[in-house]
């Protein structure tokens, strides 16, 4: 079984790759207005863009759940609550 830390690393890397793929297919769709772009039809690019977006919509909540404690501590730091506690000590 994969350790939780290793799973988080794989998940984060996968999300980065998916984001880059989403941006790349989006740019090709936006700038390549007609026909075939780099050998890909607009239909294929639209399908790829859609399924990459769906994959991210599934994986982002998993990422947020796995990193909830980190996000919670970052929100405390942003709100100033964490710095007030350390100043009182």
pLDDT 10s digits, 22-47: 999 999 888 887 778 778 888 999 99
**pTM reported for the whole predicted model:** 0.74
The pLDDT value recorded for residue 80 is: 83
Please give the residue range of the domain that contains residue 73: 4-88
Three-state secondary structure readout of 20-74: HHHHHHHHHHHHCCCCEECCEEHHHHHHHHHHHHHHHHHHHHHHHHHCHHHHHHH
Looking at residue 61, its pLDDT comes to 95
Residue closest to 49 by CA, chosen among 7, 19, 4, 85: 19
The string of pLDDT tens digits covering residues 32-87 is 877 787 788 889 999 999 999 999 999 999 999 998 888 888 888 988 876 555 55
For residues 60, 66, 68, 70, the Cα torsion angle rounded to the nearest 10 degrees is -110
Is residue 2 classed as helix, strand or coil in its secondary structure?
A: coil
Q: How many domains does the chain have?
A: 1
């Amino acid at each position: 079984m994969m350790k939780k830390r290793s799973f988080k690393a794989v998940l984060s890397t996968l999300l980065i790759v998916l984001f880059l793929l989403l941006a790349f297919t989006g740019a090709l769709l936006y700038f390549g207005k007609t026909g075939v772009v780099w050998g890909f039809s607009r239909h294929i690019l639209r399908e790829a863009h859609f399924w990459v977006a769906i994959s991210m919509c599934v994986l982002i909540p998993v990422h947020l759940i796995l990193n909830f404690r980190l996000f919670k501590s970052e929100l405390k730091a942003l709100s100033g609550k964490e710095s007030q506690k350390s100043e009182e000590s």
